[in-house]
């Protein structure tokens, strides 16, 4: 299968380049910027992309690719910093500019008609479009053999190219949605310039991954944790499709689940997917270990280790029950996704650790299980597509993402029975009200029209707010506020409502729910959830915030 590789120089958008290429049905991998040329030759990509990055190419110790890459005869596309790497590598000059460009800019493409339009910009229509810039450096002198393909008001070389070598550089970011027809530009590079065949899609991914699983696992047994979330459900369905009864799934009730989670998940996995699930109630074990712990990283590590302890106990029990050797399980299947890897600092480029993810941190070596992660390079929206093809029922498919550490990351500070009760009940109210938006009637007659319009927008094609948003839940911490219930003064908890919209969990925006819907959610929580006096609504996007509070 034809593929492209992206060399990651540390841009926050590197992962988006891969996603856009994949959307053009060409498989794409992200590699470190310093990947040796001989390694890239073994991968044999049709084309290579240099990502953006925070460095200046003229700075001391600036990240540079292996020079042998330029001799491989592969088409190259440099984006932002990658554009400057091309200029610098072939004798041009890059310098700090007085006219920095951040945000929207008007790109003027050279050529008077479609026949004169550079290959990179074919099929884009008129020669003027909006693009997204993010740079303080710019090319001052172009290398020999390169010519200007497009410009902006502040950048005479916003796009350059050497058609003979098939080397192209663009100062703007085609991978972000703010650049008009940016996906078409990347598609032109992938398919037209690089000649990659559009052979990659979810169906082919599932087929190839099943074959890879069978080769990797052989006749050995696999243990997988299932939580009811889309990630673990998809990994279970995929592994079951590949190896059948060699897979054993474990559902652990750690006491930090959504309301009635343990009943619903086990039923759906058994009845709809035919997967045998081992149910383990370890609530006391987890909550006992978490007692007195407030630090979010420590909570995540404790939960990760306790998961391993439970897995080890399951292995021992299977050995005793079936009188098999201690190595009855050789593999642990995990639903690690690409955003998990990025946020845990295990990205291909120089990324910072945001937080340890439960699937990539905290797994002790003494568990003695080999890890298999078939979804490691998929984004969340791609996982949903795979799940649908694997026959995952809508009841599971449309569930909102739920973190492996469960309510522990939605409870700020120490995990206590009172906070768990509040978090479960309030989150259930949030989900129920979002699901009922089609029947929602605003309480304020003055705003009936605006609320109805918002509800109608959310309910297009019978899609309510629950299915429109990415994630919705209630969080609670130690902060308290005074309230009045009846004629009595009450000092109760503050509940935080968090509802976001996203495509892949790498970025997210807070949802603009109708005020009347927020009001109804708030009223229900303060009236029905004992110990709550205030409800707040989180309006922070990602970045700078994260989707989960801890």
- Residues annotated as catalytic are 80, 173, 175
Peptide bond into 544 cis (omega under 30): yes
- Cα separation, 538 vs 7, in Å, equals 36
Select from 212, 214, 204, 207 the least CA-distant residue to 244.
214
* H or E element, residue 106: strand 93-109
422 dihedral zone (left: phi>0; alpha: psi -120 to 50; beta): alpha
* H or E element, residue 542: none
Q: Which two tokens stand for residue 45?
A: 């990509």
Select from 400, 408, 405, 22 the least CA-distant residue to 200.
22
What is the b/e burial string over 24-58, where b = at least 16 CB atoms within 10 angstroms of the residue's CB?
bbbbbbbbbbebebeebeeeebbbbbbbbbebbbe
* DSSP-assigned letters across all residues of 109-137: ES-SSTTTS-GGGTT--SSEEEEEEEEEE
Residue 508 and residue 502 in contact, taking contact as beta carbons nearer than 8 Å: yes
The values of phi and psi at residue 89, to 5°, are -70, -20
- Cα separation, 53 vs 8, in Å, equals 8
HSE at residue 204, side-chain half, CA atoms within 13 A, is 10
């Amino acid at each position: 299968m034809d593929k492209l590789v992206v060399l990651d120089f540390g841009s926050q958008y590197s992962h988006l380049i891969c996603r856009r290429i994949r959307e053009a049905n060409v498989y794409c991998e992200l590699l470190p910027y310093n990947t040796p040329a001989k390694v890239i030759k073994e991968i044999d990509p049709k084309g290579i992309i240099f990502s953006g990055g925070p460095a200046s190419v003229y700075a001391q110790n600036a990240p540079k690719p292996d020079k042998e890459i330029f001799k491989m005869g592969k088409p190259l596309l440099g984006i932002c910093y990658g554009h400057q790497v091309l200029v610098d590598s072939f004798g041009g000059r890059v310098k700090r500019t007085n006219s920095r460009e951040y945000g929207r800019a008007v790109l003027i493409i050279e050529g008077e008609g479609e026949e004169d339009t550079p290959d990179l910009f074919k099929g884009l229509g008129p020669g003027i479009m909006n693009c997204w810039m993010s740079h303080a450096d710019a090319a001052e002198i172009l290398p020999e053999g390169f010519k200007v393909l497009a410009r902006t008001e502040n950048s005479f070389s916003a796009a350059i190219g050497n058609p003979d070598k098939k080397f192209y550089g663009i100062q703007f970011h085609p991978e972000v949605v703010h650049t008009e027809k940016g996906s078409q530009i990347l598609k032109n590079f992938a398919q037209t310039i690089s000649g990659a065949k559009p052979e990659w899609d979810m169906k082919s991914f599932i087929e190839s991954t099943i074959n890879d699983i069978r080769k990797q696992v052989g006749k050995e047994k696999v243990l997988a944790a299932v939580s009811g979330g889309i990630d673990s459900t998809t990994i279970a369905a995929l592994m079951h499709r590949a190896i059948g009864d060699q897979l054993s799934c474990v559902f652990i009730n750690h006491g930090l689940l959504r309301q009635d989670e343990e009943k619903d998940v086990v039923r759906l996995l058994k009845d709809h997917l035919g997967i045998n699930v081992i149910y383990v109630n370890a609530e006391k074990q987890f909550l006992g270990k978490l007692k007195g712990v407030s630090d979010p990283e420590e909570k995540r590590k404790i939960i990760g280790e306790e998961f391993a302890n439970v897995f080890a106990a399951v292995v021992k029990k299977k050995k005793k029950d079936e009188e098999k050797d201690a190595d009855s399980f050789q593999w642990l299947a995990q639903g690690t996704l690409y955003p998990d890897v990025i946020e845990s600092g295990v990205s291909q480029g120089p990324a910072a650790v945001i937080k340890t993810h439960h699937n990539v941190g905290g797994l002790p070596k003494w568990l003695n299980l080999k890890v298999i992660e078939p979804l490691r390079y998929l984004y969340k929206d791609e996982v949903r597509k795979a799940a649908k093809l694997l026959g995952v029922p809508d009841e599971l498919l449309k569930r909102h993402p739920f973190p492996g550490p469960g309510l522990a990351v939605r409870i700020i500070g120490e995990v206590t029975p009172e906070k768990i009760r509040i978090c479960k009940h309030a989150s259930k109210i949030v989900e129920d009200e979002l699901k009922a938006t089609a029947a929602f009637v605003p309480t304020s007659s003055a705003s009936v029209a605006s609320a109805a319009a918002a509800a109608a927008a959310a309910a297009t094609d019978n899609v309510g707010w629950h299915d429109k948003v990415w994630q919705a839940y209630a969080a609670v911490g130690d902060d308290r506020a005074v309230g009045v219930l009846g004629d009595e003064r009450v000092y109760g908890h503050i509940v935080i409502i968090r509802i976001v919209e996203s495509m892949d969990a790498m970025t997210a925006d807070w949802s603009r729910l109708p005020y009347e819907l927020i009001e109804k959610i708030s009223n229900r929580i303060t009236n029905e959830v004992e110990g709550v006096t205030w409800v707040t609504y989180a309006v922070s996007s990602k970045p700078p915030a994260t989707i989960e509070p801890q």
